[in-house]
Structure 1
Amino acid sequence: MMNIFPGLLLAASLCVTGATSMSLPHPTASAPAGKEVVPSAVETVPYEAVAAPYPPAVTEALKKVRKSGGHTVVRANGKAYVVIGAGQKPTGGYRIVTDQVKRTGPHGFTVRVHVQPPAPGALKTQAISYPTLVIALPDQQAQVSVHMR
């Protein structure tokens, strides 16, 4: 009987607090788990914020920009993948958010993103993180200018 009590107490506390176990893939992508298609407007263009699995060339580019930050463009599968890294951050909870993707010419695009820190007072993992974002543009010949704030 005494062996059952700790298990019941733990189960009851999990039910009350609503805690669940969570499994995150490594590395954690800043992009949503699915594909986000932004509808075309006057200035913006459709794009996809994509998550893993990536084409092999995109995976290699992620390795290069992950720790150092910055961006690069990879052309694969008829698309231009814009690979963006924010560099090293002191905790989890940071992510890269797309502000705008705008067409500037026949093959020209401007991508505006910012690094969003964790919310004040939010629980965050106490581990160094490397926020990344991969955006797929429908034009394999895209000439991309990335602005990060």
Structure 2
Amino acid sequence: MFTMIPGLLLSAALTLTGIQPSSPTPHPTPTATSAEEVKTVNAQYEPVAAPYPPAVQSALSKVRKSGGHTIVRANGKSYVVIGAGQRPTGGYQLVADQVKRTGPHGFTVSVHVKAPAPGSMKIQVISYPTLVIALPDQQAQVTVQMR
């Protein structure tokens, strides 16, 4: 009788805490990846500050006021030049959230416009937030997602 007491106490404790004793856990069965599926992984990139290569500077002047993006291939890299267009005050920034590799030469760049903090002092000038990043692949096919 005394040998059953520890087992009963253990069962009671497990029942009270909601833990199921030694229930089998289902394991997912690995599935074969089709050739059409592409695994996305974070990609290496380099934020680029001025002075820019001449081709990048030219693209930046085109994208700066109108907004949008363009790709410049120079110096063995692909430069992604992104502009947010005109903003009413200073303090706006373009921020790269994520750069993912989606294929052998495919990249997706996710960016957002960071507004100045509410209530903060802002310079009263029209601004044109821009961002330039360099990808190590000169043949990069880039998709830019702006939110």
Q: TM-score, normalised by structure 1?
A: 0.71
Q: Which whole-Å deviations, capped at 9, do the CAs of 1:66-112 have from their partners, x for residues lacking one? A: 00000000000000000000000000000000010000000000000
Q: Distance in 1 between matches of 2:108 and 2:81?
A: 14
Aligned partner of 1:119 in structure 2 is 117
**Would you say how many aligned residue pairs link Structure 1 and Structure 2?**
108
One-letter amino acid of the counterpart of residue 92, structure 1: G
Ranges of 4+ aligned residues in structure 1 off by more than 6 Å = none
Quick one: which amino acid aligns to residue 78 of structure 2?
A: A
Q: Which amino acid aligns with 1:96?
A: L
1:71 aligned partner = 69
Tell me how far apart the structure 2 counterparts of residues 44 and 113 of structure 1 sit (CA, whole Å).
14
Identity %: 78
Structure 2 unaligned runs (5+)?
1-39
Task: Pick from 134, 137, 144 the counterpart of residue 139 of structure 1.
Answer: 137
Partner residue of 1:45?
43
Once the two structures are superposed, residues 111-146 of structure 1 have per-residue CA deviations (whole angstroms, 9 ceiling, x without a partner) of 000000000111111000000000000000000000
CA distance, structure 2, for counterparts of residue 97 and residue 60 of structure 1? 21
Q: RMSD of the TM alignment (CA)?
A: 0.8
Matched, 1:103 2:101: yes
Structure 1 letter corresponding to 2:136: P
CA distance, structure 2, for counterparts of residue 147 and residue 122 of structure 1: 28
Whole-Å Cα distance in 2 between the matches of residues 123 and 95 of structure 1?
Answer: 15
Partner amino acid, structure 1, of 2:84: A
Shift of 1:58: 0.2
SS at match of 2:41: coil
Take 2:128 and 2:116, find their aligned partners in 1: how far apart are those partners? 13
Hey, what's the Cα distance between the residues in 2 that align with 1:66 and 1:98? 17
Residue equivalent to 1:16: none
- SS of match in other structure, 1:61: helix
State the distance in 1 between where 2:95 and 2:41 align: 18
Shift of 1:43: 1.7
